[in-house]
Structure 1
Amino acid sequence: MRQALVVRGGWDGHQPVEATDLFLPFLKDHDFEVRVTDSPSVYADPAVMGGVDLILQCMTMSTITAEEVAGLVAAVEAGTGLAGWHGGICDAYRASADYLQLVGGQFAAHASRYAPGERSGEQADNYVPHRIEITAGDHEITRGIADFELETEQYWVLTDDYNEVLATTTTATRSWGAWQRPVTCPAVWTRQWGAGRVFVATPGHRVEVLQDLNVRTIVERGLLWAAR
Protein backbone atom coordinates (compact mmCIF):
# COMPACT_ATOMS: atom_id res chain seq x y z
CA MET A 1 0.00 0.00 0.00
CA ARG A 2 1.12 3.53 -0.69
CA GLN A 3 1.55 5.86 2.27
CA ALA A 4 -0.45 9.09 2.64
CA LEU A 5 0.38 11.68 5.28
CA VAL A 6 -2.36 14.13 6.27
CA VAL A 7 -1.04 17.26 7.98
CA ARG A 8 -3.89 19.39 9.30
CA GLY A 9 -4.50 22.23 11.72
CA GLY A 10 -4.10 26.00 11.82
CA TRP A 11 -7.09 28.32 11.62
CA ASP A 12 -10.28 26.52 12.66
CA GLY A 13 -12.43 28.56 10.26
CA HIS A 14 -11.25 26.34 7.41
CA GLN A 15 -12.44 23.22 9.26
CA PRO A 16 -9.13 21.34 8.82
CA VAL A 17 -10.33 18.18 10.55
CA GLU A 18 -13.77 17.97 8.94
CA ALA A 19 -12.42 18.97 5.52
CA THR A 20 -9.64 16.40 5.41
CA ASP A 21 -11.93 13.73 6.87
CA LEU A 22 -13.99 14.03 3.68
CA PHE A 23 -11.12 12.53 1.70
CA LEU A 24 -9.80 9.86 4.06
CA PRO A 25 -12.21 7.18 2.80
CA PHE A 26 -11.30 8.08 -0.78
CA LEU A 27 -7.61 7.60 -0.05
CA LYS A 28 -8.18 4.32 1.73
CA ASP A 29 -10.38 3.09 -1.13
CA HIS A 30 -7.46 3.80 -3.46
CA ASP A 31 -5.06 1.66 -1.44
CA PHE A 32 -3.39 4.30 0.69
CA GLU A 33 -2.46 3.69 4.28
CA VAL A 34 -3.18 7.02 5.97
CA ARG A 35 -1.36 8.68 8.85
CA VAL A 36 -2.80 11.89 10.33
CA THR A 37 -0.88 14.51 12.29
CA ASP A 38 -1.66 18.00 13.58
CA SER A 39 1.83 19.47 13.18
CA PRO A 40 4.37 20.00 10.38
CA SER A 41 7.07 18.72 12.75
CA VAL A 42 6.83 15.37 10.96
CA TYR A 43 8.39 17.00 7.90
CA ALA A 44 11.72 17.14 9.76
CA ASP A 45 11.77 13.35 10.31
CA PRO A 46 13.54 11.75 7.32
CA ALA A 47 12.69 8.26 8.57
CA VAL A 48 8.99 9.05 8.09
CA MET A 49 9.20 11.27 5.05
CA GLY A 50 11.27 8.79 3.05
CA GLY A 51 8.31 6.45 2.91
CA VAL A 52 5.54 8.96 2.17
CA ASP A 53 3.97 8.86 -1.28
CA LEU A 54 1.44 11.67 -0.80
CA ILE A 55 1.09 14.60 1.59
CA LEU A 56 -2.37 16.10 1.97
CA GLN A 57 -1.90 19.38 3.82
CA CYS A 58 -4.59 21.59 5.37
CA MET A 59 -2.70 23.96 7.67
CA THR A 60 -3.85 27.58 7.36
CA MET A 61 -1.93 30.56 8.77
CA SER A 62 0.61 28.47 10.63
CA THR A 63 4.35 28.51 11.17
CA ILE A 64 7.08 26.13 10.11
CA THR A 65 10.71 25.82 11.10
CA ALA A 66 13.60 25.87 8.67
CA GLU A 67 14.25 22.19 9.39
CA GLU A 68 10.62 21.27 8.74
CA VAL A 69 10.36 23.09 5.43
CA ALA A 70 13.72 21.67 4.34
CA GLY A 71 12.42 18.18 5.05
CA LEU A 72 9.23 18.85 3.11
CA VAL A 73 11.09 20.23 0.11
CA ALA A 74 13.54 17.33 0.14
CA ALA A 75 10.71 14.80 0.22
CA VAL A 76 8.92 16.41 -2.73
CA GLU A 77 12.15 16.68 -4.70
CA ALA A 78 12.62 12.93 -4.12
CA GLY A 79 9.15 12.08 -5.43
CA THR A 80 6.60 12.62 -2.65
CA GLY A 81 3.42 14.31 -3.88
CA LEU A 82 2.06 17.41 -2.14
CA ALA A 83 -1.59 18.38 -2.49
CA GLY A 84 -4.13 20.66 -0.88
CA TRP A 85 -6.75 23.33 -1.26
CA HIS A 86 -7.48 26.91 -0.29
CA GLY A 87 -5.59 28.40 2.66
CA GLY A 88 -4.50 24.98 3.84
CA ILE A 89 -1.80 24.94 1.19
CA CYS A 90 -1.48 28.44 -0.31
CA ASP A 91 -1.82 30.39 2.95
CA ALA A 92 0.01 27.96 5.20
CA TYR A 93 3.48 29.30 6.02
CA ARG A 94 3.63 32.93 4.92
CA ALA A 95 7.10 33.57 6.32
CA SER A 96 8.89 30.81 4.39
CA ALA A 97 10.13 31.77 0.94
CA ASP A 98 11.25 28.17 0.31
CA TYR A 99 7.73 26.89 0.99
CA LEU A 100 6.16 29.52 -1.27
CA GLN A 101 8.48 28.58 -4.08
CA LEU A 102 7.59 24.92 -3.62
CA VAL A 103 3.81 25.40 -3.87
CA GLY A 104 3.93 28.17 -6.47
CA GLY A 105 1.35 30.54 -5.03
CA GLN A 106 0.38 32.62 -2.03
CA PHE A 107 -3.00 33.94 -0.93
CA ALA A 108 -3.14 37.74 -1.20
CA ALA A 109 -6.81 38.64 -0.67
CA HIS A 110 -10.45 37.77 -1.18
CA ALA A 111 -12.71 40.62 -2.18
CA SER A 112 -15.70 41.28 0.03
CA ARG A 113 -19.21 40.92 -1.28
CA TYR A 114 -20.30 44.11 0.47
CA ALA A 115 -19.11 47.68 0.86
CA PRO A 116 -17.28 48.37 4.14
CA GLY A 117 -20.30 49.86 5.92
CA GLU A 118 -22.51 46.91 5.00
CA ARG A 119 -20.37 44.08 6.41
CA SER A 120 -21.44 42.03 9.42
CA GLY A 121 -17.99 40.76 10.37
CA GLU A 122 -18.94 37.17 9.56
CA GLN A 123 -17.19 34.91 7.07
CA ALA A 124 -20.16 35.21 4.74
CA ASP A 125 -19.17 38.82 4.02
CA ASN A 126 -16.59 37.29 1.68
CA TYR A 127 -18.83 34.73 -0.03
CA VAL A 128 -18.83 36.04 -3.58
CA PRO A 129 -20.64 34.48 -6.56
CA HIS A 130 -17.93 33.74 -9.13
CA ARG A 131 -16.99 31.40 -11.94
CA ILE A 132 -14.20 28.84 -12.11
CA GLU A 133 -13.08 28.68 -15.74
CA ILE A 134 -11.35 25.51 -16.91
CA THR A 135 -8.32 26.36 -19.04
CA ALA A 136 -6.86 22.86 -19.49
CA GLY A 137 -9.78 20.62 -20.35
CA ASP A 138 -7.51 17.85 -21.62
CA HIS A 139 -5.65 17.40 -18.32
CA GLU A 140 -6.53 14.27 -16.34
CA ILE A 141 -7.52 16.38 -13.33
CA THR A 142 -10.00 18.59 -15.19
CA ARG A 143 -11.02 16.42 -18.13
CA GLY A 144 -14.78 16.44 -18.67
CA ILE A 145 -15.41 19.29 -16.23
CA ALA A 146 -17.02 22.46 -17.62
CA ASP A 147 -16.76 25.95 -16.19
CA PHE A 148 -18.78 26.14 -12.98
CA GLU A 149 -20.13 28.65 -10.48
CA LEU A 150 -19.39 28.93 -6.77
CA GLU A 151 -20.53 31.24 -4.00
CA THR A 152 -17.71 31.26 -1.50
CA GLU A 153 -14.38 33.00 -0.94
CA GLN A 154 -12.71 33.85 -4.23
CA TYR A 155 -8.95 33.76 -3.82
CA TRP A 156 -6.69 36.40 -5.33
CA VAL A 157 -3.32 34.63 -5.36
CA LEU A 158 0.21 35.68 -6.25
CA THR A 159 1.79 33.03 -8.48
CA ASP A 160 4.54 32.48 -11.04
CA ASP A 161 4.62 31.11 -14.57
CA TYR A 162 6.23 27.80 -13.61
CA ASN A 163 2.75 26.54 -12.70
CA GLU A 164 0.65 24.58 -15.14
CA VAL A 165 -2.66 26.38 -14.74
CA LEU A 166 -5.73 24.16 -15.11
CA ALA A 167 -8.41 26.70 -14.13
CA THR A 168 -8.70 30.40 -13.41
CA THR A 169 -11.08 32.80 -11.71
CA THR A 170 -11.53 36.54 -12.28
CA THR A 171 -12.08 38.96 -9.42
CA ALA A 172 -14.32 41.80 -10.53
CA THR A 173 -13.73 45.43 -9.73
CA ARG A 174 -15.48 46.91 -6.69
CA SER A 175 -16.67 50.49 -6.37
CA TRP A 176 -14.86 50.64 -3.02
CA GLY A 177 -11.80 48.66 -4.14
CA ALA A 178 -8.41 50.05 -5.08
CA TRP A 179 -7.95 47.91 -8.20
CA GLN A 180 -8.98 49.44 -11.52
CA ARG A 181 -9.73 46.39 -13.70
CA PRO A 182 -10.74 42.74 -13.22
CA VAL A 183 -7.91 40.46 -12.07
CA THR A 184 -7.60 36.86 -13.31
CA CYS A 185 -5.74 34.39 -11.09
CA PRO A 186 -5.11 30.65 -11.17
CA ALA A 187 -7.74 28.64 -9.29
CA VAL A 188 -6.28 25.18 -9.93
CA TRP A 189 -2.69 24.44 -10.81
CA THR A 190 0.00 21.78 -10.80
CA ARG A 191 3.74 22.06 -10.41
CA GLN A 192 6.61 19.64 -10.96
CA TRP A 193 9.31 19.95 -8.29
CA GLY A 194 12.23 17.61 -8.75
CA ALA A 195 10.74 14.13 -8.98
CA GLY A 196 7.63 15.22 -7.08
CA ARG A 197 4.31 16.72 -8.07
CA VAL A 198 2.39 19.55 -6.41
CA PHE A 199 -1.37 20.09 -6.78
CA VAL A 200 -3.24 23.20 -5.56
CA ALA A 201 -6.92 24.14 -5.75
CA THR A 202 -7.97 27.49 -4.32
CA PRO A 203 -11.69 26.64 -3.77
CA GLY A 204 -12.31 24.81 -0.49
CA HIS A 205 -13.05 27.40 2.19
CA ARG A 206 -15.28 25.03 4.15
CA VAL A 207 -16.71 21.53 3.92
CA GLU A 208 -19.74 22.58 1.88
CA VAL A 209 -17.47 23.95 -0.87
CA LEU A 210 -15.45 20.74 -0.97
CA GLN A 211 -18.71 18.81 -1.29
CA ASP A 212 -19.51 20.59 -4.55
CA LEU A 213 -19.27 17.85 -7.17
CA ASN A 214 -16.87 19.78 -9.41
CA VAL A 215 -14.57 20.81 -6.56
CA ARG A 216 -14.56 17.37 -4.99
CA THR A 217 -13.82 15.68 -8.31
CA ILE A 218 -10.93 18.05 -8.99
CA VAL A 219 -9.47 17.51 -5.52
CA GLU A 220 -9.81 13.72 -5.65
CA ARG A 221 -8.16 13.58 -9.06
CA GLY A 222 -5.49 16.00 -7.87
CA LEU A 223 -4.62 13.75 -4.94
CA LEU A 224 -4.16 10.76 -7.21
CA TRP A 225 -2.25 12.78 -9.79
CA ALA A 226 0.20 14.13 -7.21
CA ALA A 227 0.91 10.84 -5.44
CA ARG A 228 4.11 8.98 -6.18
Structure 2
Amino acid sequence: MMFRSMTFLCSALLGSGEAEVNIVPEFSYLGRCSRLYRRAGQFNQTLPRHLVFVVFPAWCKALHGDLPTCLFVQDYIAVKEKYAKYLPHSAGRYAAKRFRKAQCPIVERLTNSMMMHGRNNGKKLMTVRIVKHAFEIIHLLTGENPLQVLVNAIINSGPREDSTRIGRAGTVRRQAVDVSPLRRVNQAIWLLCTGAREAAFRNIKTIAECLADELINAAKGSSNSYAIKKKDELERVAKSNR
Protein backbone atom coordinates (compact mmCIF):
# COMPACT_ATOMS: atom_id res chain seq x y z
CA MET A 1 0.00 0.00 0.00
CA MET A 2 2.82 2.34 0.88
CA PHE A 3 4.47 1.56 -2.46
CA ARG A 4 1.33 2.36 -4.48
CA SER A 5 0.70 5.65 -2.70
CA MET A 6 4.33 6.69 -3.27
CA THR A 7 4.06 5.88 -6.99
CA PHE A 8 0.85 7.85 -7.44
CA LEU A 9 2.24 10.75 -5.40
CA CYS A 10 5.33 10.77 -7.59
CA SER A 11 3.13 10.91 -10.74
CA ALA A 12 0.99 13.71 -9.28
CA LEU A 13 4.03 15.77 -8.35
CA LEU A 14 5.50 15.31 -11.81
CA GLY A 15 2.30 16.62 -13.33
CA SER A 16 2.06 19.61 -11.00
CA GLY A 17 5.72 20.62 -11.38
CA GLU A 18 6.28 20.58 -7.62
CA ALA A 19 9.77 21.74 -6.64
CA GLU A 20 10.10 20.11 -3.23
CA VAL A 21 9.35 16.46 -2.46
CA ASN A 22 10.04 15.00 0.96
CA ILE A 23 9.71 11.28 0.25
CA VAL A 24 12.55 9.32 1.78
CA PRO A 25 11.61 5.61 2.04
CA GLU A 26 13.47 3.34 4.43
CA PHE A 27 16.47 1.63 2.87
CA SER A 28 14.97 -1.77 3.70
CA TYR A 29 12.17 -1.04 1.21
CA LEU A 30 14.71 -1.04 -1.63
CA GLY A 31 13.27 -4.08 -3.39
CA ARG A 32 9.70 -2.82 -3.23
CA CYS A 33 10.64 0.65 -4.44
CA SER A 34 12.59 -0.51 -7.49
CA ARG A 35 9.68 0.19 -9.85
CA LEU A 36 9.36 3.69 -8.44
CA TYR A 37 13.00 4.43 -9.20
CA ARG A 38 12.75 2.93 -12.68
CA ARG A 39 9.74 5.17 -13.24
CA ALA A 40 11.60 8.16 -11.81
CA GLY A 41 14.52 7.47 -14.14
CA GLN A 42 12.31 8.23 -17.15
CA PHE A 43 11.68 11.74 -15.82
CA ASN A 44 15.13 12.54 -14.44
CA GLN A 45 15.10 15.90 -16.22
CA THR A 46 12.02 17.18 -14.37
CA LEU A 47 11.99 15.21 -11.12
CA PRO A 48 13.64 16.89 -8.09
CA ARG A 49 17.26 15.83 -7.80
CA HIS A 50 17.09 14.55 -4.24
CA LEU A 51 14.13 12.30 -5.10
CA VAL A 52 15.75 10.71 -8.16
CA PHE A 53 18.87 9.83 -6.18
CA VAL A 54 17.16 9.30 -2.85
CA VAL A 55 18.73 5.87 -2.23
CA PHE A 56 22.11 6.35 -3.92
CA PRO A 57 23.48 9.89 -4.32
CA ALA A 58 23.93 11.61 -7.66
CA TRP A 59 27.66 11.04 -7.89
CA CYS A 60 27.16 7.25 -7.93
CA LYS A 61 25.34 7.38 -11.25
CA ALA A 62 28.36 7.60 -13.56
CA LEU A 63 31.61 9.39 -14.20
CA HIS A 64 30.77 11.96 -16.85
CA GLY A 65 34.05 12.88 -18.51
CA ASP A 66 36.30 11.52 -15.75
CA LEU A 67 37.75 8.24 -16.97
CA PRO A 68 40.49 5.95 -15.67
CA THR A 69 43.88 7.57 -16.22
CA CYS A 70 45.61 4.19 -16.69
CA LEU A 71 45.14 3.04 -20.28
CA PHE A 72 45.89 -0.61 -19.46
CA VAL A 73 42.82 -1.08 -17.25
CA GLN A 74 40.53 1.46 -18.94
CA ASP A 75 38.50 -1.24 -20.72
CA TYR A 76 38.07 -3.27 -17.52
CA ILE A 77 36.72 -0.57 -15.17
CA ALA A 78 33.06 -0.04 -16.11
CA VAL A 79 32.42 3.62 -15.27
CA LYS A 80 31.35 5.08 -18.62
CA GLU A 81 27.89 6.57 -19.07
CA LYS A 82 26.46 3.42 -20.66
CA TYR A 83 27.15 1.55 -17.39
CA ALA A 84 25.31 4.17 -15.30
CA LYS A 85 23.09 2.71 -12.57
CA TYR A 86 21.00 4.26 -9.84
CA LEU A 87 21.91 1.36 -7.55
CA PRO A 88 24.77 -1.19 -7.53
CA HIS A 89 22.22 -3.99 -7.72
CA SER A 90 21.63 -4.92 -11.38
CA ALA A 91 21.14 -8.68 -10.83
CA GLY A 92 23.14 -9.34 -14.01
CA ARG A 93 24.54 -12.74 -14.99
CA TYR A 94 28.15 -11.58 -15.18
CA ALA A 95 29.65 -14.96 -14.25
CA ALA A 96 27.89 -16.87 -17.05
CA LYS A 97 30.65 -16.22 -19.58
CA ARG A 98 34.35 -15.53 -19.42
CA PHE A 99 35.37 -11.84 -19.21
CA ARG A 100 31.75 -10.72 -18.95
CA LYS A 101 32.33 -9.45 -15.42
CA ALA A 102 34.43 -6.66 -16.94
CA GLN A 103 31.10 -5.12 -18.03
CA CYS A 104 29.75 -5.11 -14.46
CA PRO A 105 29.60 -1.56 -13.02
CA ILE A 106 32.65 -1.05 -10.84
CA VAL A 107 30.62 0.04 -7.79
CA GLU A 108 28.62 -3.19 -8.02
CA ARG A 109 31.82 -5.23 -8.20
CA LEU A 110 33.01 -3.52 -5.02
CA THR A 111 29.63 -4.23 -3.41
CA ASN A 112 29.75 -7.90 -4.38
CA SER A 113 33.29 -8.26 -3.06
CA MET A 114 32.20 -6.93 0.32
CA MET A 115 29.89 -9.96 0.67
CA MET A 116 32.65 -12.09 2.23
CA HIS A 117 33.03 -14.39 4.08
CA GLY A 118 30.41 -17.11 4.67
CA ARG A 119 28.30 -15.30 7.24
CA ASN A 120 27.92 -12.34 4.86
CA ASN A 121 27.04 -14.31 1.73
CA GLY A 122 23.93 -13.01 0.00
CA LYS A 123 23.53 -9.93 2.22
CA LYS A 124 23.68 -7.51 -0.69
CA LEU A 125 21.43 -4.82 0.77
CA MET A 126 23.76 -4.66 3.74
CA THR A 127 26.82 -4.20 1.52
CA VAL A 128 25.00 -1.63 -0.65
CA ARG A 129 24.35 0.36 2.52
CA ILE A 130 28.01 0.03 3.59
CA VAL A 131 29.28 1.28 0.22
CA LYS A 132 26.74 4.13 0.23
CA HIS A 133 27.89 5.30 3.66
CA ALA A 134 31.56 4.93 2.69
CA PHE A 135 31.04 7.08 -0.42
CA GLU A 136 29.29 9.76 1.63
CA ILE A 137 32.24 9.81 4.06
CA ILE A 138 34.71 10.08 1.15
CA HIS A 139 32.74 12.99 -0.31
CA LEU A 140 32.76 14.78 3.06
CA LEU A 141 36.48 14.21 3.71
CA THR A 142 37.88 14.91 0.24
CA GLY A 143 35.21 16.94 -1.55
CA GLU A 144 35.81 14.82 -4.66
CA ASN A 145 33.60 12.46 -6.62
CA PRO A 146 33.82 9.20 -4.61
CA LEU A 147 33.62 7.19 -7.82
CA GLN A 148 36.79 8.90 -9.06
CA VAL A 149 38.45 8.10 -5.72
CA LEU A 150 37.43 4.45 -6.15
CA VAL A 151 38.84 4.32 -9.70
CA ASN A 152 42.14 5.88 -8.58
CA ALA A 153 42.34 3.43 -5.67
CA ILE A 154 41.84 0.45 -8.00
CA ILE A 155 44.49 1.75 -10.43
CA ASN A 156 47.02 2.25 -7.63
CA SER A 157 46.27 -1.04 -5.85
CA GLY A 158 46.54 -3.47 -8.76
CA PRO A 159 49.94 -5.22 -8.88
CA ARG A 160 51.70 -4.89 -12.25
CA GLU A 161 54.01 -7.87 -11.72
CA ASP A 162 53.57 -11.14 -9.84
CA SER A 163 55.36 -14.47 -9.52
CA THR A 164 54.15 -17.95 -10.44
CA ARG A 165 55.37 -21.46 -9.70
CA ILE A 166 57.35 -23.16 -12.48
CA GLY A 167 58.34 -26.83 -12.47
CA ARG A 168 57.11 -30.07 -10.98
CA ALA A 169 56.77 -31.23 -7.39
CA GLY A 170 60.46 -32.05 -7.01
CA THR A 171 62.06 -28.82 -8.21
CA VAL A 172 59.78 -25.81 -8.01
CA ARG A 173 60.96 -22.27 -8.60
CA ARG A 174 59.21 -18.92 -8.80
CA GLN A 175 59.16 -16.96 -12.04
CA ALA A 176 58.15 -13.31 -12.42
CA VAL A 177 55.25 -12.69 -14.84
CA ASP A 178 53.24 -9.68 -15.99
CA VAL A 179 49.70 -9.38 -14.65
CA SER A 180 46.80 -9.06 -17.10
CA PRO A 181 44.59 -5.94 -16.85
CA LEU A 182 41.50 -7.85 -15.68
CA ARG A 183 43.44 -9.62 -12.93
CA ARG A 184 44.88 -6.28 -11.83
CA VAL A 185 41.35 -4.95 -11.34
CA ASN A 186 40.17 -8.18 -9.66
CA GLN A 187 43.09 -8.26 -7.25
CA ALA A 188 42.83 -4.54 -6.47
CA ILE A 189 39.15 -4.86 -5.50
CA TRP A 190 39.90 -7.93 -3.38
CA LEU A 191 42.79 -6.21 -1.58
CA LEU A 192 40.75 -3.07 -0.88
CA CYS A 193 37.84 -5.06 0.58
CA THR A 194 40.15 -7.32 2.60
CA GLY A 195 41.94 -4.31 4.06
CA ALA A 196 38.66 -2.67 5.07
CA ARG A 197 37.33 -5.90 6.59
CA GLU A 198 40.47 -6.57 8.64
CA ALA A 199 40.64 -2.95 9.83
CA ALA A 200 37.03 -3.08 11.04
CA PHE A 201 37.51 -6.32 13.01
CA ARG A 202 37.56 -5.71 16.79
CA ASN A 203 37.56 -1.97 16.15
CA ILE A 204 35.26 0.80 17.29
CA LYS A 205 35.15 2.12 13.71
CA THR A 206 32.38 0.89 11.43
CA ILE A 207 33.25 -1.03 8.28
CA ALA A 208 31.99 1.91 6.18
CA GLU A 209 34.52 4.22 7.87
CA CYS A 210 37.29 1.66 7.38
CA LEU A 211 36.37 1.22 3.70
CA ALA A 212 36.39 5.00 3.20
CA ASP A 213 39.84 5.28 4.84
CA GLU A 214 41.17 2.40 2.74
CA LEU A 215 39.92 3.92 -0.53
CA ILE A 216 41.24 7.40 0.29
CA ASN A 217 44.69 6.10 1.29
CA ALA A 218 44.89 3.82 -1.76
CA ALA A 219 43.84 6.64 -4.09
CA LYS A 220 46.69 8.78 -2.70
CA GLY A 221 49.15 5.86 -2.92
CA SER A 222 49.77 6.05 0.83
CA SER A 223 51.55 3.19 2.60
CA ASN A 224 48.85 3.35 5.30
CA SER A 225 46.65 1.43 2.86
CA TYR A 226 46.57 -2.36 3.24
CA ALA A 227 46.14 -2.77 -0.54
CA ILE A 228 49.16 -0.58 -1.35
CA LYS A 229 51.37 -2.47 1.14
CA LYS A 230 50.34 -5.85 -0.31
CA LYS A 231 50.85 -4.62 -3.88
CA ASP A 232 54.37 -3.40 -3.06
CA GLU A 233 55.16 -6.72 -1.39
CA LEU A 234 53.97 -8.74 -4.41
CA GLU A 235 55.99 -6.59 -6.81
CA ARG A 236 59.09 -6.81 -4.59
CA VAL A 237 58.89 -10.64 -4.53
CA ALA A 238 58.36 -10.72 -8.30
CA LYS A 239 61.37 -8.46 -8.88
CA SER A 240 63.62 -10.82 -6.92
CA ASN A 241 62.42 -13.76 -9.07
CA ARG A 242 63.07 -12.24 -12.50
TM-score above 0.5, yes or no: no
Which is helix-richer, 1 or 2? 2
Which is strand-richer, 1 or 2? 1
Which one has the largest radius of gyration?
2
